[in-house]
Amino acid sequence: MTETGKILLVEDSEQDVELTLGALGQHNLANEVVVVRDGEQALDYLYCRGNFSGRSTGNPVVVLLDIKLPKVDGLEVLQQLRNDDALKRMPVVMLTSSREERDIVRSYNLGVNAYVVKPVEFQSFVEAIRELGLFWAVLNQPPPLAQ
Amino acid sequence: MVLRAAPEPRDTFERICRASALTWRVGAWDGGLSMSQSSPGAANANQRFAGLEAELEAERDLIAVLARVARLATESDARGLSDEAARLLGAEVAAVTASFEGDSVVQSEDVTQDARFQSGALHAALPPADRLVRSYLALPLRGADGAVVGGLVFSDARVGAFGARQARAAQAMAAVIGPVFESARQLRQSHATEARLREANDSYALSQRRFEQVLDSVDDLIFCKDERLRVTYANAATCRYYGVSQEELRGITDVPFNEIDFTQQYNADDRQVFLSGEPVERVEEPNQARDGRTRYFHTVKSPIFDARGKAVELVGVSRNVTERKRAADDQKNLAAVSAILAESIDYEQTLANVARAMVPSVADWCAIDVLEDGAIRRIAVVHNDPGKVALAHELERKYPTPMDAATGVPAVIRSGKAELVPIIPDELLVAAARDEDHLRLIRALGLHGYIAVPMLAHGHVLGAISLVGEGERTFDERDLAFAEKLARRAGAALENSLLYQEVRQLNETLEMKVEQRTASLIEANRELESFSYTVSHDLRAPIRHVSGFVDLLRLHAAPQLDDKGHHYLNTIKQASVQMGALIDGLLAFSRLGRAELSKRPVSLLDLVRSVVQELKPETHSRRVEWSIGELPTVLADAGMLRLVISNLLTNAVKYTQRRDDARIAVDSESNEHEHVIWVKDNGAGFNMDYAHKLFGVFQRLHSEKEFAGTGIGLATARRVINRHDGRIWAESTPNQGATFFVSLPRQAAAVRPDSDATGAPGSHHEKADS
């Protein structure tokens, strides 16, 4: 349980990563964040394989998942998690630019825990990230491990 | 003056007077006939009377003579004589004639002195020259049986002229004349009877001639037969039709060259007429004349009864209906062809069916050829005998008709002109045959009559139809006319079919094109969606980044920046926020076009109140007077309608921001078709010249500096209202405010809110200051 409390941020945009980390940093949550750049890496991380085969075990308290990602997109990642008995209870929050109804509907149909549209206004964004970090990393009681 | 006998005749008296040699005036009472005869001596009167009797007996035309005299007397001077007689005799005449009725002789020595005449005064008044009658003698004429048949009157101007001797002579004369008169009258009567008989005979003969003339003048065949079915009469038309004389027909029971079946049927009908006493009718009775062709008659045979009511003869009337039947058959055949032609658009099958329909009713052979890319192709050959069809195919294969043949299908197709050969002579076959074997094959076909007609459509030859008759079947101009009609219809159908195929091909091409176009439209739509998706994601991200990093920069570099630096950062910040708003508006707008409408009853009053509530933060520093009237419940997509109301109210708030006494009113009016809702403000308003630009995307009538905005709001409102089948429009005067109207069609589910719920009448308007 060495990595308990970690946040997995799946985001391909350099700037978004920096802003998100900046926002989390303002609330001292930045050091709890693992950043991957696409869906494949996210799955590798969660299944402890590929570049992450050597990582210490344990699931993040929450996955902040962008929808539009290289290789494997956010919705596909979510679908795979939900189809896996070991990972289906993993809290997943969509953190995305898309307000498209179909994205929102599909996400909820796949069992997302929350859907957050990144606000244009930086301060609002900071606020949103802070609340997300606080809620999922601190307040929320994560599900028990499947095994 | 009525006389029982009607003696006629002046010259009878003349003769009598002559014969009697009377010297006195002689008068007869009929019409006062009177004449004088001066003849001396009457000694041998008896002899003369005897001669007269013989003379009268010998006179064959006595009646004619008497009639002539009577006529003369009546027509010329009867009246005059009558008057004179009356004048001479006066009223005495009545008395004198009356005397004959009594069968007695009347004799007067001097009528003036005779009381029976009572005319003394009258007579005396006459001048002496006129006193012609003084003596008077009248005696009856008797027939053989003694009955009075007339009378004789003698008069004389002298007194006492008639003595006993004269009286005896007159009596002897009357005795002779009486029977002559009677026999003459009888003769005349028998003459009259004879004349009547002769007249009757004449008129009978005339009538006979008249009827014969009539019967011979008609075109119908009229004939009579007796009980043994022998012809007793035949009119001229019948003789003409069979080519035999009346005499040849009379007495025979059948016409030798008629088909035996036909004759048997005729005789069966004849017997039925005699048996039943009722007419027999045949509407289409076949018959063959000398030329062997079959014709058709409408025949009615009726019985002729004798005085006792027995049918002794029959009269038949036959009307030639061959033309009518052929016309009807042609119509029937053409109708059948039309039906076949209408059945299918597959012309090969259709034309083959047409050919089949022609055999054997019209011809024994039917072949149809079509012209395809300059070559003639045989589509159908039909004959009832499959062996013959095979023979024809073999013939065509072995000896194909050359395209440049002078006659036959190629010539017909080339020239567009029909060919008619009523009877194909053997020489023609010999001439057409390529060799002995060919000739044998052609002869084996047993061709007799031949017609080939072009199938034309709009002047173009599309092919040809050939009809061939075998055995006795020949063709004439009428058959040709029928074949041409047939070919016209087949040609039209063929053309239609070809056009249809062309149209079908065009349609298929068109459908393909439509499919391609649809596919490319779907593709374009997909691209457009993906574009808006891209905008949604990728365009917003850099804006967020600009905005985010400006904030980070400000945090990071605030101490190092001077006022100008801060101003620049603020400007960048504002621009990025504006850009974000634009993108969000655009996305919302594009989403509206795609989203499904989910209509349900929406209370506009609740909706407006809720939006007004939302706008409170924007108006908290201002004074805005809201006036909300009675608003209906409408059937609409609640979320979309909220966008519209929100846009309109936000605009009203925005454009009244320079007013110290901002007033915004929302009200409605409904009729049976629609609800009209309006939002009226007293704000900046706009120039009506630009009203048409109000609802366009990114169209603004005010500068960004004057009134902030994206130019998306009203475009969105219009799109929503359009999708609800409503209308949106605006009226305004610059600086005096604007009114925006929205109409929504009334639907069954739309109901007005219960007016009691909003209070008493007249208090529909609520006012809220904020």
**Could you report the predicted ipTM of this complex, rounded to two decimals?**
0.71
The pLDDT score that the predictor gives to residue A92 is: 92
Interface contact B544-A120, CB threshold 8 A: yes
Between A16, A99, A123, which is nearest B541 by CB? Answer: A16
Question: B551 to chain A: which residues are within 8 Å by CB?
Answer: 122-123
Q: How far is CA B58 from CA B9, B52, B55, B150, in A?
A: 17, 10, 5, 21
- Partners of residue A114 on adjacent β-strands: A93
d(CA A50, CA A33): 19
- Residue B665: how many other CB atoms lie within 10 Å: 19
Edge to edge, what strands does the sheet with B25-27 contain? Answer: B34-36, B25-27, B148-156, B135-142, B106-108
Environment class of B136 (CB within 10 Å of its CB; exposed 0-12, middle 13-18, buried 19+): buried
Mutation pick from B529, B535, B544, B583 vs chain A, by most beta carbons of A within 10 Å, is: B544
| Mean pLDDT lowest among B54-58, B205-209, B217-221, B360-364 | B54-58
Q: Specify whether the CB–CB gap between B713 and B582 falls below 8 A.
A: no
The pLDDT score that the predictor gives to residue B58 is: 42
A97 touches chain B (CB under 8 A): yes
Interface contact A96-B537, CB threshold 8 A: yes
Instruction: Give me the numbers of helices (H) and strands (E) for chain A, helices first please.
Output: 5, 5
Interface contact A99-B544, CB threshold 8 A: no
Highest mean pLDDT among B149-158, B283-292, B673-682: B673-682
Detail the DSSP E strand segments found in chain A. 7-10, 33-36, 62-65, 92-96, 114-117
| pLDDT tier for residue A80 given thresholds of 50, 70 and 90 | very high
- Taking only Cα atoms into account, the Rg of chain B, rounded to an integer number of angstroms, comes to 65
Nearest chain A alpha carbon to B573: A121
Residue, of B445 and B686, whose pLDDT is higher: B686
Interface contact A97-B544, CB threshold 8 A: yes
What is the arithmetic mean of pLDDT over B502-526? 88
| Mean pLDDT lowest among B156-170, B446-460, B467-481 | B156-170
| pLDDT tier for residue B269 given thresholds of 50, 70 and 90 | very high
Interface contact A120-B576, CB threshold 8 A: yes
d(CA A39, CA A41): 5
What is the arithmetic mean of pLDDT over B192-201? 86
| pLDDT tier for residue B118 given thresholds of 50, 70 and 90 | low
Interface contact B548-A19, CB threshold 8 A: yes
B739 pLDDT higher than 50: yes
The pLDDT score that the predictor gives to residue B113 is: 75
H or E stretch at B389: helix B386-398
B603: tokens are 């209370």
Q: Using a pLDDT cut of 70, give the percent of chain B over it.
A: 75
The pLDDT score that the predictor gives to residue A45 is: 92
List of residues 6+ apart from B456 with CB closer than 8 A: B416, B462, B487, B488, B491
Rounded to the nearest integer, the mean pLDDT of chain B is 76
The pLDDT score that the predictor gives to residue A24 is: 80
| Mean pLDDT lowest among A99-113, B608-622, B751-765 | B751-765
B558: tokens are 């605030």
The pLDDT score that the predictor gives to residue B614 is: 86
What is the arithmetic mean of pLDDT over B662-676? 92
Q: Specify whether the CB–CB gap between B496 and B521 falls below 8 A.
A: no
The pLDDT score that the predictor gives to residue B767 is: 45
Start-to-end C-alpha separation, chain A: 14
The pLDDT score that the predictor gives to residue B11 is: 45
Mutation pick from B540, B549, B550, B591 vs chain A, by most beta carbons of A within 10 Å, is: B540
The residue type of B450 is: Y
Please give the model's pTM, rounded to 2 decimal places.
Answer: 0.39
- Dihedral in degrees, nearest 10, Cα atoms B566, B569, B573, B575: 110
Residue B9, φ and ψ in degrees, nearest 5 = -140, 125
The residue type of B73 is: A
B551 pLDDT higher than 80: yes
B90 pLDDT higher than 80: no
| Mean pLDDT lowest among B25-29, B221-225, B305-309, B603-607 | B25-29
How many CB pairs below 8 Å do chains A and B form together? 63
The pLDDT score that the predictor gives to residue B1 is: 32
**Residue bearing tokens 């069979």:** B242
Environment class of A56 (CB within 10 Å of its CB; exposed 0-12, middle 13-18, buried 19+): exposed
| pLDDT tier for residue A99 given thresholds of 50, 70 and 90 | confident
| pLDDT tier for residue B649 given thresholds of 50, 70 and 90 | very high
List of residues 6+ apart from B572 with CB closer than 8 A: B546, B550
Interface contact B540-A97, CB threshold 8 A: yes
Residue, of B404 and A89, whose pLDDT is higher: A89
- Partners of residue B383 on adjacent β-strands: B365
The pLDDT score that the predictor gives to residue B742 is: 94
The pLDDT score that the predictor gives to residue B389 is: 87
A28 touches chain B (CB under 8 A): no
d(CA B663, CA B673): 30
How far from the centroid of its chain's Cα atoms is residue B37's Cα? 88
CA angle B85, B88, B90 (to 5 degrees): 85
Residue B100, φ and ψ in degrees, nearest 5 = -70, -30
Question: A127 to chain B: which residues are within 8 Å by CB?
Answer: none
Nearest chain A alpha carbon to B578: A120
What is the arithmetic mean of pLDDT over B191-209? 87
B298 pLDDT higher than 80: yes
The pLDDT score that the predictor gives to residue B620 is: 80
What is the arithmetic mean of pLDDT over B731-746? 90
B503: tokens are 């149209």
Q: Specify whether the CB–CB gap between A62 and A132 falls below 8 A.
A: yes
pLDDT digits (tens, 9 = 90+) for A27-76: 777 667 899 998 999 999 998 888 888 887 778 888 999 988 888 889 99
B28: tokens are 């007869």
B646 pLDDT higher than 50: yes
Edge to edge, what strands does the sheet with B221-226 contain? Answer: B231-234, B221-226, B311-320, B294-305, B280-288
Residue, of B8 and B172, whose pLDDT is higher: B172
B72 pLDDT higher than 50: no
Coil vs helix vs strand at B475: coil
B610 pLDDT higher than 80: yes
Between A97, A99, A121, which is nearest B547 by CB? Answer: A121
Interface contact A16-B544, CB threshold 8 A: yes
